[in-house]
Structure 1
Amino acid sequence: MIEQTLLAQRGALIGWVPVCLGIGIGLYFSAQQEPDFVLLAGLAMAAVFLAVLWRLVNVAYAPVFMAMILVLTGIGLAKFRTDHVDAPVLGFRYYGPIQGRIVNIDRSASDAPRLTLDHVVLERMSSERTPARVRVSVHGDQLLTSYEPGETLIMTGHLSPPAGPAEPGGFDFQRHAWFLKLGAVGYTRTPVLRWETPQGAGWGMAIFTARMRLSHAVQTAMPGETGAFAAAIMTGDRSAMGQDTLAALRASNLAHLLAISGLHMGLLTGFVFALIRGGLALIPVIALGWPTKKIAAVCALVVGAFYLALSGGNVATERAYIMVGVMFVAVLLDRRALTLRAVAMAAIIILVWQPESLMGPGFQMSFAATTALVAVFGWLRRFDTYKLPKWVQGVMSVVISSAVAGFATAPFAAAHFNQISHYGLIANLLSVPLMGMLVMPAAVLTACLAPIGGWKIGLWFMDLGLRWILYVAENVAGLSGALSHVVAPHVAVLPILTIGLLWAVLWQGRGRYAGGVAVVVALLIWQQSTRPDLLVADNGSLLGLSSDQGRVLSKPTGSSFVAGIWLENDGAPVAQDIAASRKGLQRAGRVVTAHLGPWQITQVSGKTALADLTGCGGADVLISNQEVPEARPCLVFDIKALRNTGSLALSQDATGQLVVTTAHGVAGNRPWNRRQGPAQPPIVLKP
């Protein structure tokens, strides 16, 4: 029985390759310790042993051994990638001169212009210790459009190591920055001055320069939000998008139209493919004697590669190009383009090339949507719809694809962004067809007419389409109940949910229903997910206490980024001042006290308040944003300790014990946070 079940899977084994690689990569990134040489050697020997068994066992069981080999391979790929991008990370807070070359210009979450610099020079710091890249937010009325990509700038600013999670188990920006070789982040309030003009920067910088000039030209020709939108989908430059527009796009589930991802790459290359093939079909000599379909596929690949380069080549765009590339290569090889095999091949390439992308929402959501679409439309091929009118088939395709993609990505979007758009399907039905039929063709028209100076004609059509999309986003986002928020899930939810959904799609036979069971289990775990009783920011200046009214914050301003993340993860985002006005914390000047049952936690801000505090002031745990020089009769987390532990989560367990969990303890001792020292297990205080 088992042999027959395993043999029935042989026609669909390619789909399990990225799944097994992903399991190995996930195991690596979830580990508490970096695997050492002895462990890696042991894993390599295990892989060799499994390879031998794979050749010796019954053919039915061979895929099981290959799956284990692929899991071990995934661990090795992630480890190799981590070591390959190893670059210096700033180990302290720096203030002084900063010199570097512009390699990116964008905006921060607070809407401040931001520069990413390489070729960094810091005062009295050797090149071996200097970060490969730094990112500096520019405050004040400085026009970044006056600077050219590739220019070397000088400024005086503050730099810090990349921050850890805002709360234990949260998004790890340290890990994200590690793979970007981003060794420090900070800000400047002084004028940014030119030091050197661009000199022989190479192809990469030349493309970056072309991107920024095109973005500026588009925004000049199309002022306002539509121009910023057009620049974003043509060049990947979203620095001009307003925060209100971004919020409306997210609330209406149209934010995917802004990022250059699978939809844009698919629409553009699909339009080019159809245009070239249709144009060649009009010429009888070529249509009858030439492989027009393959010629169109090659042209679409070339245009897609150009779009990839022009858009900045970020991870989402690279992933999108690989996916469409695999599909057009299938056309060149006379294979069906849209199959689960093609999706699996694209996933394998990305996981081998950039294993860390598995942990990001972009990879998860794009492959969830693509896999679901291919699976559902493959299932629909069983039904004869050719007798229906063409317009009915077109409408059905749009409705089904929007609904399937929306449902497939909804749990991942909710897990990562803590929100669900209830009218996203309506917004997508009103916007996506126009994106494909007007906006992207207009972008191609703009590119074609640019050499003869007629590119504004294409921009005029783009403006019409984008105005409609923004109108839909604004009105759908403004509907009552358009958006709801959910609690951040337990760490086990996404892995169980993902494997369950993939099992339901890939497994052959009745056993696929087990995938549905896994999905239900994941949703039940999510429903039971709880939030910490008390959260402490890694700078010691903000507390967040859970109460019946929602989380109570210790202050109405300051540390707003961390405060926003806490409230979003609670599934109840409100303005920081509203959360600070709730009852639950006792405030006495710059001293804030919280109680968890019999336990007292006191936060002290500033040197004066700390000096006036006698002992611990009756607290069991003392939090301070200053260094506490002398020993005190309680558990102390001052600014020095918090730099090592990261943010804190405190909860009272069922036995009355106070459990203190640190962000560094949850993340483990990894290369991206090694400056923090050994990771500590949770601290338990007994009554």
Structure 2
Amino acid sequence: MAIEVTRPGKIVGPDIMSGDAALRGRQWNSERNLSSALAAIEGFLSQSCRDRVPWLSVAFGTGIAAWFALPKPSQWAGLIALCCAASLATRVCWRRCGAFQTVSQAFFWVPLTVAAGCVLIWGRSMMVGTPPIERPLYGAFTGRVLAVESQSAQSRRRLVVATRDQASGRALKIRLNLPDELSEGESVRSAEISEGSLIEFEARIMPPAAPLLPGGYNFARTAWFAGLAGSGTILKPVTVLEPAEGGEAPLARVRRRLAAHVREQVDERANGIAVALVTGDRGGITADDAQAMRDSGLAHLLAISGLHETAVIGLIYFLSVRTLALWPALALRVRLPVLASGLAALGGIGYTLLTGAQVPTVRSCIAALLVLGALALGREALSLRILAVAAFAVMLLWPEAVVGPSFQMSFAAVLAIVALSTSAPVRNFLGPREEPAWMRGVRWFGMLMLTGLVIELALMPIALFHFHKAGLYGSLANLVAIPLTTFVIMPGVVLALAADIVSLGAPLWAVVGWTINAVLGLAHWVSAQPGAVTLVPGMGEVAFTLFLAGGFWLALLVGKARLLGALPCVAGSLVLYNQAPPDLLIAGDGRNVGVVERTAGRDAPRLLLLRDTRSDYVRDNFQENAGLRGEAIYLPDHPGARCNADFCSITLQMRERAATVLLSRSRDIVPERELAAACDRADIVISDRWLPRACRPRWFKADRGTLSQTGGLSVDLSRGAVRNVAQGQGMHGWWRGRTGEMSLQDLIPPMPSPSSPDR
């Protein structure tokens, strides 16, 4: 038998040598397979992801969104540690993967950027987050007015006041509604209440409201980052103890005078929108007009955003270039685009300050300034990189805006426009060619229609997620309304204000008023069409995440690979299509309950409300969350309900069995034995009071004790699923309900399937 001496004192036989060779072969094959995989990824990234800056912006936003989605600080810290470990591991292996620079950079920078986003929002929450008041406060308060917002359409004004809790001495920043009937009297005149005034008032102040139902608007989170500890309503006339030092602030005075001037120039129906476009004050828009604008997909025209900033800055830039070009001495010595960009930037900043410098307006101004900088440098005015830098700048200043609809919709619309306009088919379609002028016009009109459709498709998932509804005809309405706003209304307002200096603005104001009325007429007509508004039950995070992933894939990649982004969008559409209205909607206080009745003889289910509330807010939230239209029915008037002064009972039919629901109506004392017997006959018991342990329904009870920890509930009986508000809040500072380590199953046991026995 042959042997081989590998080193002194060691003899290796052929069997051992063959084993070592096999091991070396497996290792070589593994490295070769790894290299092949890295080479494939390298080629894909090089061909399909030519610009990596937008992906870093998406990763930064993902880290911010992950902080909101994850419930516990330990999970936030775990995400940061995991991302840093992934970047460190990539750095260590850099030499081994030296041939794959694109892959190495992606695996290093993307996790690091995700971690940076999570760290940023966590730190901002700790620095600016304001804990809410623990309980409602009622009494007389003294405070300094920080901000005043007129809401003439609602016959009130909204004040932001700095005051103190008399019991604890804690400094509070609160938001108060001041009805107009309390703004006038011997002790106060409406003009006296301004920023800086010291006032004495009597009010009831409530903690910022959590979402009424799962998926609802989270005012508590907004107040946490805005520094608001509570909100309420002033109940008696206000006394001004000290007027503002130096009178009204100069900018506020200019804004108020401009608003009054615009109201005098434009007719009554249109002046609310005209004032909103000039000063950002939307309080003069009537509720009917605002609802019609929302249902027709034109509500974005009412908020000062990128559209309005673009119109103002674009007009100033165009007029500056054309006017300065008439001065040959200046045109020969100075680059006019640079000078015009500077003038347009000053005009955009001034317009932002004039309209109140709200976060969406400032965000749009930052993006517009970046575009002006690109123009001044002779680069492409609008590109994915410019948009990514603008989004990154906004997220650095206001990271909490990532989860808000304003940020998502504004950047999604611009992203859709840029992605569409930079795609190869569109460039070829709009490329120069020898053709008649009318054919070129047809081509551009077709492109305008396609752009409106793409924007509507991009915004629809966001609208459905946040508002549970979207306008089907919004793209068609925007095709008319956006050009009118951009090229007629906004330039007309600017030119009319300039012409008013020499008292020549009346004709321009007439054109502005007529155009605004035309837009309002279009909004009312579109919103009145059958099927104009699509309502869906609350979209879950899964479907929304699929839409986001598919949208980013379609927008940021190039080549045929981008078409794969349609697959997540199709999957999200299927999830959304199979979304069914919940059977029970329970508000966090237990007083307001909605029951969705499904009857075989009816085409659509109906919403039954336990209490005949006059609050539009409560009724609209229940209808939107259930995805139902039409008038809600008062449950005690329903023939299928059995009600007395204390309780209502209704039986809901499911696929294979029925479920009996018992709902309390009063807080009168009920004998415990009778209550226990009624609970024993029910599957689910819902109450706004504390129920004794003797109350044992078959499935679960949602009383004040349970709801104080879970918040509002959404119950799907057919699937045995229960969603609650607490699931989306976690241990973030704005959530007052605490479940601690207790799970939802401890509070609400899993419901049996329809085919299981009752007990």
The answer, yes or no, to whether TM exceeds 0.5 is yes
TM-score calculated relative to the size of structure 2: 0.82
Between 529-538 and 251-260, the greater mean CA deviation after superposition: 529-538
Question: Do structure 1's residue 572 and structure 2's residue 628 form an aligned pair?
Answer: yes
Shift of 1:116: 3.1
Q: Does 2:678 align with 1:618? A: yes
2:336 maps to 1:262: no
What letter matches 1:314 in structure 2?
Q
Q: Which residue pairs with 2:216 in the alignment?
A: 170
Q: Which amino acid aligns with 1:649?
A: S
Provide the C-alpha distance between the structure 2 equivalents of 1:111 and 1:293, rounded to a whole number of angstroms: 45
Cα distance per residue 1:479-507 (max 9 Å; x no partner): 34433323321221122111111111212
Alpha-carbon distance between aligned partners in 2 of 1:182 and 1:544, rounded to the nearest angstrom: 30
Q: Given that residues 89 and 131 in structure 1 are in contact (C-alpha distance below 8 angstroms), is that contact kept between their aligned partners in structure 2?
A: no
Root-mean-square deviation over aligned CA pairs: 3.1
* Aligned AA (1:650): V
**TM-fit CA distance, 1:583:** 5.3
SS of 2:68 mapped into structure 1: helix
The residue number in structure 2 matching 1:555 is: 611
Residue by residue over 1:229-270, the C-alpha shift from the partner in whole angstroms, topping out at 9 and shown as x without a partner, is: 111111111111101111111222221111111111111111
Q: 1:65 to 1:486 in 2, by over 3 A?
A: same
CA deviation profile, 1:78-126 (whole Å, cap 9, x unmatched): 1122112122311111111233333444478994624232322333231
Aligned counterparts, 1:110-125, within 5 A: 111=154, 113-125=156-168
Q: Which moved more, 1:373-382 or 1:358-367?
A: 373-382
Q: 1:592: which partner in 2? A: 648
Is 1:158–2:220 an aligned residue pair? no
Instruction: Give the aligned partner of residue 382 of structure 2.
Output: 338
* 1:82 equivalenced with 2:125 (yes/no): yes
Match of 2:336 among 265, 286, 292: 292
Given the alignment of the two structures, is residue 181 of structure 1 paired with residue 222 of structure 2, yes or no? no
| Distance in 2, Cα, partners of 1:362 & 1:638 | 36
User: Does the CA contact (< 8 Å) of 1:439 and 1:462 recur in 2?
Assistant: yes
Q: Secondary structure at the match of 1:60?
A: helix
Tell whether 2:687 aligns with 1:648: no
Scaled by the length of structure 1, what TM-score is found?
Answer: 0.90
| 8 Å contact from structure 1 (residues 446, 455) kept in 2 | yes
For residues 293 and 474 of structure 2, the distance between their equivalents in structure 1, rounded to whole angstroms, comes to: 10
Structure 1 counterpart of 2:717, one-letter code: Q
How far apart are the structure 2 equivalents of 1:183 and 1:584? 44
Q: Distance in 2 between matches of 1:37 and 1:71?
A: 11
Paired with 2:153 and 2:707, the residues of 1 have a C-alpha distance of: 24
Partner of residue 249, structure 1 = 293
Task: Quickly say closer, same or farther: Cα 1:79–1:302, change in 2 above 3 A.
Answer: same
Specify which of 112, 133, 152 is matched with residue 69 of structure 1.
Answer: 112
Larger deviation: 38-47 or 400-409?
38-47
Match of 1:352 in 2: 396
Residue 274 of structure 1: how far off its partner (Å) = 1.0
2:665 corresponds, among 605, 612, 624, to 605
1:533 partnered with 2:583: yes
1:368 and 2:412 aligned: yes
Residue by residue over 1:618-670, the C-alpha shift from the partner in whole angstroms, topping out at 9 and shown as x without a partner, is 2255433345588645565444553333212334365xxx6654322442121
Deviation at 1:562, TM superposition (A): 2.5
Judge conservation of contact 2:726–2:737 (CA < 8 Å) in 1. no
- Distance of 1:142 and 1:603 partners within structure 2: 42
Report deviation, 1:473. 1.8
Map 1:387-466 → 2, pairs under 5 A: 387=434, 389=437, 395-396=445-446, 398-449=448-499, 451=501, 458-466=508-516
**Structure 1 CA distance for aligned equivalents of residues 289 and 339 of structure 2:** 40
| Structure 2 residue aligned with 1:523 | 573
In the alignment, the residues of structure 1 paired with residue 276 and residue 153 of structure 2 have an alpha-carbon distance, to the nearest angstrom, of 18
AA matched with 1:131: L
CA contact (8 A) 1:139 1:189 kept: no
Change (3 A) 1:281 1:609: farther
* CA drift at 1:294: 1.4
Compared with structure 1, are the counterparts of its residues 520 and 44 closer, same or farther at alpha carbon in structure 2 (3 Å cutoff)? closer
Query: Is contact 2:582–2:626 with CA below 8 Å preserved after alignment?
Result: no
- Alpha-carbon deviations, 1:347-383, whole Å to 9, x = none? 1111222111111111111111101111212232233
Distance 1:345-1:82 versus aligned 2 partners, 3 A rule? same
- Where does the alignment leave 5 or more consecutive residues of structure 2 unmatched? 1-39, 599-604, 753-758
Q: Which residue does the alignment assign to 1:60? A: 102
Q: For 2:732 and 2:155, locate their aligned partners in 1 and report how far apart those are by CA, in whole Å.
A: 31
Percent identical pairs in the alignment equals 26
2 CA distance for matches of 1:107 and 1:568?
28
Give, in whole Å, the separation in 2 of the partners of 1:226 and 1:4. Answer: 56
Q: Which has the larger radius of gyration?
A: 2
CA contact (8 A) 1:162 1:183 kept: yes
Counterpart-to-counterpart distance in 1, 2:483 and 2:76: 53
Amino acid in the other structure paired with 1:61: V
C-alpha distance in structure 2 between counterparts of 1:356 and 1:582, whole Å: 44
SS in 2 for 1:670: coil
Following superposition, the deviation at residue 178 of structure 1 comes to: 1.1
Once the two structures are overlaid, the 10-residue window that deviates more, 304-313 or 522-531, is 522-531
Which secondary structure does the structure 1 equivalent of 2:422 belong to? helix
The separation in 1 between residues aligned to 2:665 and 2:460, in whole angstroms, is: 41
State whether structure 2 residue 240 is matched by structure 1 residue 194: yes
CA distance change for structure 1 residues 640 and 312 in 2, over 3 Å: closer, same or farther? farther
CA drift at 1:325: 1.3
Are the structure 2 counterparts of residues 676 and 110 from structure 1 closer, same or farther at C-alpha, using a change threshold of 3 Å? Answer: farther
The answer as to whether partners of 2:597 and 2:608 remain within 8 angstroms in 1 is yes
Unaligned residue ranges in structure 1 (runs of 5+) = none
Structure 2 residue identity aligned to 1:588: N
What's 1:136 paired with?
177
Between the aligned partners of 1:239 and 1:397, the Cα distance in structure 2 is 36
* SS, match of residue 182 in structure 1: coil
Tell me: CA distance 1:180–1:240, structure 2 relative to 1, closer, same or farther (3 Å).
same
Structure 2 CA distance for aligned equivalents of residues 449 and 192 of structure 1: 40
Structure 1 residues 580 and 219, CA gap change in structure 2 (3 angstroms): farther
Number of positions where the alignment pairs a residue of Structure 1 with one of Structure 2: 680
